[in-house]
Amino acid sequence: MIVAGLTGGIATGKSTVAAIFEKAGARLIDADRIAREAVRKGSPAYRDIVAHFGKDVLFGDGEIDRKRLAAIIFNNPAEQRALEHIVHPQVKQEVDRRVALIRRQAPDALIILDIPLLFEAGMQPGMDAVIVVYAPKHLQLARLMARDGLTEPEALARIRAQMPIESKRALATRVIDNSGSREQTRQQALEIYRQLAGSQTQSIG
């Protein structure tokens, strides 16, 4: 079994690449989706978030208002770390559980762990590969403003809340440059998929 981490910066196109890998045959584990499930009303992480940030981060139905919470942490590194300390252990535990389940069910699987904050959460050790989806900062900024309707200061705050994309690129074992066309990105992703699948076949043989 091959386990590869997939990460990038906000608005670099990681979700697009994740979908390409999944369509090619990889087993995808989406850490962001797991994080959303981990903070649902009544969960341990939910209770810790409300205790720390107060009820102002809740919708009327009691669920967490992720946009309001994001507005707090993107402008306050200490609060961002506090949230990460609450959520990251829950996410890692569930990711590990799902990897173990796939290992039992499909020991020859190629697993892609889609983890936006892979390096920030320190989850990369032990992975067979770490794939970073890259786009230069000026493209990140333009795409984020267009995608989410943000002002430039708002978009910059979100970009700066993450590890710089150049730093992530330097830590990667494989890089997908998503500054070109969608087809160019797809071809890069498929080539990495073939390499990883091929390495697994060789190790089995």
pLDDT in tens, 102-142: 999 999 999 999 999 899 888 999 999 999 999 999 999 99
pTM (whole model) above 0.85 = yes
pLDDT of residue 121: 86
- In 10 A of CB 90, how many CB atoms? 19
pLDDT of residue 47: 96
pLDDT of residue 202: 52
pLDDT at 17 exceeding the cut of 60? yes
pLDDT of residue 205: 44
CA distance 197 to 205: 12
Confidence of residue 200 (pLDDT cuts 50, 70, 90): low
Q: Which residues of 136-146 are buried (b: 16+ CB within 10 A; e: fewer)?
A: eeebbbebbbe
Question: Domain-by-domain residue ranges, the chain?
Answer: 2-204
pLDDT at 154 exceeding the cut of 70? yes
- Rounded to the nearest 5°, which phi and psi values hold at 160? -75, -15
Average model confidence (pLDDT) across the chain? 93
The 3-class secondary structure across the chain, one letter per residue, is CEEEEEEECCCCCHHHHHHHHHHHCCEEEEHHHHHHHHCCCCCHHHHHHHHHHCHHHECCCCCECHHHHHHHHCCCHHHHHHHHHHHHHHHHHHHHHHHHHHHHHCCCCEEEEECCCCCCCCCCCCCCEEEEEECCHHHHHHHHHHHHCCCHHHHHHHHHCCCCHHHHHHHCCEEEECCCCHHHHHHHHHHHHHHHHHHHHHHHC
Per-residue pLDDT of 53-83, as tens digits, reads 999 999 999 999 998 998 898 878 899 999 9
**Amino acid identity at 137:** K
What fold, for 2-204?
Rossmann fold (3.40.50)
- In 10 A of CB 4, how many CB atoms? 20
Per-residue pLDDT of 166-185, as tens digits, reads 999 999 999 999 999 999 99
pLDDT at 204 exceeding the cut of 50? no
Token pair 């900024």: residue: 141
pLDDT > 70 fraction of the chain, expressed in percent and rounded: 97
Q: In what order do the strands lie in the sheet with 27-30?
A: 27-30, 110-114, 2-8, 129-134, 174-177
The number of angstroms, rounded, from the C-alpha of 139 to the middle of its chain's C-alpha atoms is 19
